[in-house]
Structure 1
Amino acid sequence: MLLTSLDNPPLRRSVTKHGFAKVGRRLAPAAGTLALALALAIPPALAPIAFSPAALAQQNAPRRSPTTIRDTEIENLLRDYMRPIWRAAGLTQQNLRVVIISDPSFNAFVMDGKRIFVNTGALASSETPNEIIGVLAHETGHIAGGHLARMRLELENAQTMAIIGTLLAAGGVAAGAASGGNMGGAAAALAGPQEIARRSVLAYARAQEQAADRSAVTYLNATKQSPVGMVRTFERMQNDQMFISQRVDPYVLSHPMARERVAALEDLVAKSPYKNVKDSPELQARHDMMRAKLVGFSQPPDAVARRYPPSNTSRPARYARAISAYRYGAVPDAIRQIDALIAEQPNNPYFYELKGQALLEASRAREAIPPLRRAVQLSNGAPLIRTLLGQALVAANDKASLDEAVRELTFGVQREPDSAAGWRFLAQAYGQKGDLPNADLASAQSTLLTGDIRLARELAARARQAFPYGSPGWLKADDIVNLKPPPKQIRRQTP
């Protein structure tokens, strides 16, 4: 499992060594549900509109690129949440996936037709599965409705309208200047067309948000789930907006105000025959474990203790405390707590995974191998867990285990080809075996994923010389050697 955080030193240390898996790539800045990847095409004032109303007051603040996290337990749960929704939306053939962003704010968005992005803050703060399912169903509505492609067209039309209006206004300004006209009014005339275009795009975005809300309720009804969770989510957002709503012009937002959404959703909920349907106890239990895991990995011990005090003896509370204990160096205590969890649920693969990870990060790789093997078995060979097992086998520095390490890591990178860490550990396994060509090739793959194209080419060139001409290894190395880097993009600076 892997969780990354740019703000938490222990978590950052686990990223560079083991465990809660290394996240491969950075994403384009996440603006809002309809921020798209079109920031360069949007006037600066349009871009940073977030899903969460709390972000409205900071919409002009600098944004850093978000970091994704990987975790088998959480990803499997989100897939189970969304599979019926995607079927109801007619999207089962599109290979959709939910990507988790390490960010404490409540946010979810789409940037293409294949991925829904959701912040850890949204997952951790949703008290029931139904609440987060409603949020993700809303994002599914954007994809099913083709909103991204339509927004691109709307932006192009708005740009054209703004340009024409600016040219016409400029002509009037020139005439006014020649006759000694007021220059303040001239500046306003030039700004007018752009403001009209901006508000036109935002109005269109708000209409898409309302359409996605309606689609989400349709999908929930089709899957016999309650839309009440969506109302609860927007009610919390409405409470947040109470402090800023008096200072915000609703016509310069990309989303309707929460109070409007709550009112519209309440009408739809009242008509739903499934409004009183509750999440199953099994699904709620998994949801509670997910929230506990996120808190345990992302919060310091004192925050974990406040959220899950020792007096709370529930399984999620003990899960969070065990994670926190291992992350902050109390490994013996963490192992004791994890073993108690295993005794209660001996077929839970994620408890064995956590135990193996804790031992591995404590430099006890040999002890980590048995629980990780059990985790692989119980998880039906989950790629991320097999990669973690391969890492432990490499770290054990036992020549008898190297063939198994190569096998596990090869499986992992075949299923997760964007895992730079997986390729790096595979390179180490081949290096310990003395197979230098394959070690160089795996290193080239890892380096390529981290963005160092020059070094990747050098490693691939060295590997290519050692492989027989035309062999699979030679062809893979040749592909990297001849790879052309993408053209540099010019970022538009916000004034």
Structure 2
Amino acid sequence: AIIATLLGAGAIVAGATSKTRGLAGAGMGVAAGGGEMAQRSILAYQRTEEMTADRSAITYLNATGQSGLGMLKTFGRFQSALSLSGAQVDPYRISHPLPRERIANLEVLVKKSPYVDKVDPPALQQRHDMMRIKIAAYMGGQAAASRLMRKMPGSLASQYGAAQTSYLFGDLAGALAKTNALIKAQPKNPYFQELRGDILMKANRPKAAAEAYAKAVSLDPARSGLLSVSYGQALMAIGTPDSLEKAVVQINKGLGRDRENAVGYRHLAQAYGELGNIPAADLATAEGHFYSGAYKDAKIFAMRAQMKMKRGEPGWIRAQDIINYAPSGKKK
């Protein structure tokens, strides 16, 4: 591509010098064509990587004893949607393979798998359904969640979706009643306790919310960082010095497991600020900006934090890391 651009530029200059329009035009074509070739080469590489990822997915499904038929069905839906849209797609100018190509790439592997007809365990399917309904409620709204709930009437996932939509769209009393029923059905489910905490926070009952989040944290086998941050946020809302100290501990625990939670750092900065620990508040603010991609603001707060810290202590070193950070391809 670079050679083509240089040759094209040379032809343009030669054409301009000799007042030969054809040569100049040809030079422009060569230069543009070089860029087009480079772009197509990159896109071809990306498509190959996607195909490799698809095949790896089948390898992982076989390793866990699961069927890959779901992938074929998903790509089949993509193909149907593409066909119905009537869009004309240039297969050489896209970053992902066309759905029909992905199906062809996987069909033989899926069908020769010993697990092709294996049905997922009910507990795994239930978790999956609850996840889908929660995503639908948050991303697609009440109508999207309702469409999914109609496909699984009476299920625990459907009840979870009903509680989520009640919470998100203003019926806090109804949401709390539905969530309490879910907890009665599955008392050891940490995410039902999380939802209870969310509802109570929205109802301005931080002490009860903190108790629900604490229960969620204690029940969570995955030790999710988000749950600890939510617990810390509820403790902050209680507002006593003791609860603020506990909030700092919980939020730091959560961030230790989820380093890139920018919102968590903002809560941590607020807690440190209310406790009067301004250097730590400035450093947490810097971290929040850093993980949000606002590197200039991150450096400003990191420098402010350093000015009030002892040189060489852990916080000072982390602030220096932020100050020294240069995004790829840019100078500090």
| Structure 2 gap segments, 5+ residues each | none
3-state SS, counterpart of residue 283 of structure 1: helix
1:262 aligns with 2:103: yes
Q: What is the match of residue 316 of structure 1? A: 157
Residues 486/196 of structure 1: CA separation in 2 closer, same or farther (3 Å cut): closer
How far did 1:234 drift? 1.7
Q: What is the match of residue 298 of structure 2? A: 453
Counterparts of 1:454 and 1:196, CA distance in 2: 40
3-state SS, counterpart of residue 252 of structure 1: coil
Residues 167/243 of structure 1: CA separation in 2 closer, same or farther (3 Å cut): farther
Q: What is the match of residue 258 of structure 2? A: 416
Matched AA of 2:247: A
Residues 171/427 of structure 1: CA separation in 2 closer, same or farther (3 Å cut): closer
Matched AA of 2:131: M
3-state SS, counterpart of residue 401 of structure 1: helix
How far did 1:462 drift? 4.8
Counterparts of 1:454 and 1:235, CA distance in 2: 48
Task: Determine if contact 1:322/1:335 at 8 Å carries over to the other structure.
Answer: yes
Report the structure, 1 or 2, having the larger helix content.
2
Residues 166/314 of structure 1: CA separation in 2 closer, same or farther (3 Å cut): same
Counterparts of 1:370 and 1:389, CA distance in 2: 8
Aligned match of 2:69 in 216, 222, 228?
228
Q: What is the match of residue 244 of structure 2? A: 402
- Give aligned-pair identity as a percent: 40
1:376-416 Cα shifts (integer Å, max 9, x gaps):
11015432211111111111112332332222122223333
Counterparts of 2:61 and 2:30, CA distance in 1: 48
Which structure has more relative contact order (CA 8 Å, sep 6+)? It is: 1
Task: Determine if contact 1:162/1:197 at 8 Å carries over to the other structure.
Answer: no
Matched AA of 2:179: I
1:426 aligns with 2:268: yes
1:279 aligns with 2:120: yes
3-state SS, counterpart of residue 308 of structure 1: helix
Residues 247/176 of structure 1: CA separation in 2 closer, same or farther (3 Å cut): farther
Counterparts of 1:447 and 1:175, CA distance in 2: 50
How far did 1:316 drift? 1.2
Q: What is the match of residue 242 of structure 1? A: 83
Matched AA of 1:290: M
Task: Determine if contact 2:8/2:26 at 8 Å carries over to the other structure.
Answer: no
Matched AA of 1:463: K
1:410-447 Cα shifts (integer Å, max 9, x gaps):
22233333333323323333344344444444344335
Q: What is the match of residue 216 of structure 2? A: 375
Counterparts of 2:179 and 2:26, CA distance in 1: 70
1:393 aligns with 2:249: no
Aligned residues: 327
3-state SS, counterpart of residue 134 of structure 2: helix
How far did 1:288 drift? 0.3
How far did 1:368 drift? 0.6
Task: Determine if contact 1:447/1:455 at 8 Å carries over to the other structure.
Answer: no
Aligned match of 1:327 in 168, 174, 188?
168
RMSD (Å) for aligned C-alpha atoms: 3.5
Matched AA of 1:237: F
Matched AA of 1:283: L
Counterparts of 1:274 and 1:246, CA distance in 2: 36
Task: Determine if contact 1:360/1:368 at 8 Å carries over to the other structure.
Answer: yes
* TM-score, structure 2 normalization: 0.81
Counterparts of 1:439 and 1:192, CA distance in 2: 53
Counterparts of 2:106 and 2:15, CA distance in 1: 50
Which stretch shifts more, 442-451 or 406-415? 442-451
How far did 1:486 drift? 4.4
How far did 1:292 drift? 1.0
Residues 459/279 of structure 1: CA separation in 2 closer, same or farther (3 Å cut): same
How far did 1:461 drift? 4.0
How far did 1:350 drift? 0.5
* TM-score, structure 1 normalization: 0.57
1:258-296 Cα shifts (integer Å, max 9, x gaps):
223323433333333322122222211110010011112
3-state SS, counterpart of residue 262 of structure 1: helix
How far did 1:185 drift? 5.8
Residues 176/250 of structure 1: CA separation in 2 closer, same or farther (3 Å cut): farther
Task: Determine if contact 1:296/1:321 at 8 Å carries over to the other structure.
Answer: no
Counterparts of 2:313 and 2:231, CA distance in 1: 29
Residues 421/209 of structure 1: CA separation in 2 closer, same or farther (3 Å cut): closer
Counterparts of 2:107 and 2:34, CA distance in 1: 37
Residues 275/382 of structure 1: CA separation in 2 closer, same or farther (3 Å cut): closer
